[in-house]
Structure formats: structure tokens, C-alpha cells
Structure 1
Amino acid sequence: MDYTAAQKRQMLEHARSSIARELGYHIAYAPVDADWKKEERAAFVTLYYQGELRGCIGSLAAYQALWPELEHNAKAAAFDDPRFPPVSRTEFADIDVQISILTPTQSITVTSKDDLLTTLRPHIDGLLLEEGQHRATFLPQVWGQLSDPAKFLKHLLRKAGLAEDYWSDTMRFSIYQVLEVKENGK
């Protein structure tokens, strides 16, 4: 999965204009007619405001073409992330958009917490944790804030609504990698 600089720029413009239209800005929208935009891809759109996380929504499995995936997730990150109020018009100019296009998830088999921690590749692997009704993921970019695998796992367990030291033989784990597309090279 590789894209040209022009394609990456188009992805970012599409995500940003999807948010702009929801805010009431009138954006001219050219018809989409390129094969790469029609490929089914799982993607996340992450928003930052003044360097801080401002919203992040995405899909772990491909179920629609990349173009509507980016539009939906950009709008959801801006207006439907339950951790944040909706993005306002006054914030919009200072929002930085980041797109993460995911590889398919791969189940991994681990026998213990230590086994999991040695299996993970910091700054490369995203991790999906599933335990009964509990489910959470961290994109590989989260390694930038949580570079220690034990801390990475503790925070992921907490995000899933489990105790930081929780472990069960019924937990399931999957890894994936991403292609990052960022505005302004940030």
C-alpha cells in the first residue's frame, strides 16, 4: 500500500473539506474518478488542535471504499468523538489532520503478558485488544507517547475499561500497521 505525494495531498484535502462543509463552508468539490480512491481500506482520521489530540475515529476492518471512509471518519472525528465537544468554526483553521490507512489486522497468539510485551514492535505495530464486551485499540502513533510496551498495554487495558494489571487467557490480540498521511509534515 503506497500512494504518491499528490494522492496523499488529495486525501488530506478531502478529509479537511469534509469537515469544512459540515461547518457551513462552501467548498467546490470535484468528482472522484480514480481507482485508488475506490479500493476498500480501513482508516482512521485523527485531529490535533494546537498539538493536542482533538478527535480520532476510524475503522479496523475495510468495509467501504477509501474515499467515503475518509469523509465519514473525518466528520466523525470532528463532531462525534465522545471525548471532545464538536470542532467549532473558530478552531477549524488550527486543526491538523492526520490519516492512518491500516493494513488488515493479524491475530497473534500469546501465552502470557510477558509473551505479548516481547511480541509487540514499538512504533510499528498497532494493537487491538478484545475481552468479552471490552475492546480497544491504539494506533502505532501512540508509541510516541507510550514507548514502553508495559505502559502501552496498561493504558490500552484502561481504555478498554479493564484494570491496568488485568490478564486473562480469553483475551484476544491483533496487530496491524499503518501508512501515515499528515498535514504540514507534522
Structure 2
Amino acid sequence: MPSTEYNASQKQRMLEHARAAIARELGYKLARCSAEEPWQKEERAAFVTLNHHGQLRGCIGSLSAHQSLWDELSYDACAAAFRDRRFAPLSRDEFDDLDIHISILTPTQPLAVDSEQALLSALRPGVDGLVLEEGVRRATFLPQVWEQLPEPKRFLEHLKRKAGLAEDYWSDTMQFSIYQVTDIGE
């Protein structure tokens, strides 16, 4: 099982690594830092969230581990900066005022619930990220989203909308899973 605790130096290196990946894509000449330590080589799921002047500027990641943490952070940082369909690609003018947040996920755990009320009762605001799956639709909110949507009912309604479903939608075929994160920010 990969570690979920990182020291201050490791966290700083992750943030610098993500920022450097974006800078290289913008044309800045920076050397690549290879993954030489065991924690960098662990397969981990992660998300990189970018904020510009306090506003969301991009957020991309994966829910399941499929590559090293170091490769995942490079990929997610560049994807959040240049390939998040909600935003135009990041410009050099925005780069200096960019805040980077990294969320390293624990493996997802399925929730066996038979009603919306049971789901709402099972959620731990501020702790759990939630994945909703219904047919081909899939959406997630990181635990940090609880800061904007602290009520479980509103959290779920917004997640349903993100998945392209009506806020009052419920089906016995919906599947849910939870996860937690190690949150690392500038």
C-alpha cells in the first residue's frame, strides 16, 4: 500500500514539479527532475487543481492509480493548465499568479446504499470525496468541494448536475464510492 503521509520537503517538491511541468509547456527552459525516490515512483491517483486570483482555472486528475506519482503530477498539471475543456489554455500572463493544489487520493471504496437518504447519512462532509456513476455517466467532487457546498444534499445535487443528471434524479442502478485525499497547496 502506498504511503499517504508526506513530509514538508516532499510536498514542496511535488508543487515545484507540477509548476515546472506547466512552465516547460509554456516554453520556459527548465530541466526535468527525474523520480529517484521510492515515494515518487509509487503508483498513485491524483488531481491537480489550478486557481488564478482565487478562481478555479483548471482541475484534472484520475480516480485510480495507473502510473507513478511523479508522472501523474506532470500529466495532471499540464492537462489542468491546457486541456480542461471548461477553460482556454493557460497563458504566460497567468502563470505567475497561479496557485497549484495537489490532491493525492486513497483508493476508492464502494458505498452500498439503497436510498438517497442512506447516501447522505453515510457522507462525511469535509472528509470524503464522492464518485457517482450511472451508466456511462461519471462525476466526482474532491473533499475540498465541501468548502463551497457544506450541506450533503446540495453537495450531491451539484454532483448529479456535473454528471449530467437532474438534481432530483435517483436510480437503484447508481453506484457511489468515496475516497479521501492528502491535500497539498501553495
Task: Name the TM tier (shorter chain).
Answer: over 0.9
Structure 2 residue aligned with 1:164: 167
1:104, CA displacement in angstroms?
0.0
1:19-168 aligned within 5 A: 19-168=22-171
Alpha-carbon distance in 1 for matches of 2:110, 2:126: 18
Maintained 8 Å contact 2:43/2:66: yes
Which deviates more, 26-35 or 158-167?
Answer: 26-35
Structure 2 residue aligned with 1:181: 184
1:30, CA displacement in angstroms?
3.6
Alpha-carbon distance in 1 for matches of 2:142, 2:32: 30
Deviations 1:130-162 (A, max 9, x none): 000111000000000000000000000000000
How high is the TM-score relative to the length of structure 1?
0.97
Alpha-carbon distance in 2 for matches of 1:29, 1:129: 36
Between Structure 1 and Structure 2, how many residues are aligned? Answer: 183
Deviations 1:5-40 (A, max 9, x none): 000000000000000000001113343311110000
Deviations 1:15-68 (A, max 9, x none): 000000000011133433111100000000000000000000000000110000
Task: Give the residue type in structure 2 aligned to 1:181.
Answer: I
Maintained 8 Å contact 2:50/2:57: yes
Segments of 5+ residues of structure 2 without an aligned counterpart are: none
Identity %: 64
Structure 2 residue aligned with 1:6: 9
Task: Give the residue type in structure 1 aligned to 2:9.
Answer: A
Alpha-carbon distance in 2 for matches of 1:125, 1:30: 32
Segments of 5+ residues of structure 1 without an aligned counterpart are: none
Q: Which runs of 4+ in 1 moved over 3 A?
A: none
SS of match in other structure, 2:48: strand
Considering only aligned residues, what root-mean-square deviation do their CA atoms show, in Å?
0.6
Compared with structure 1, are the counterparts of its residues 30 and 137 closer, same or farther at alpha carbon in structure 2 (3 Å cutoff)?
Answer: closer
Maintained 8 Å contact 2:17/2:33: no
Maintained 8 Å contact 2:25/2:78: yes
How high is the TM-score relative to the length of structure 2?
0.97
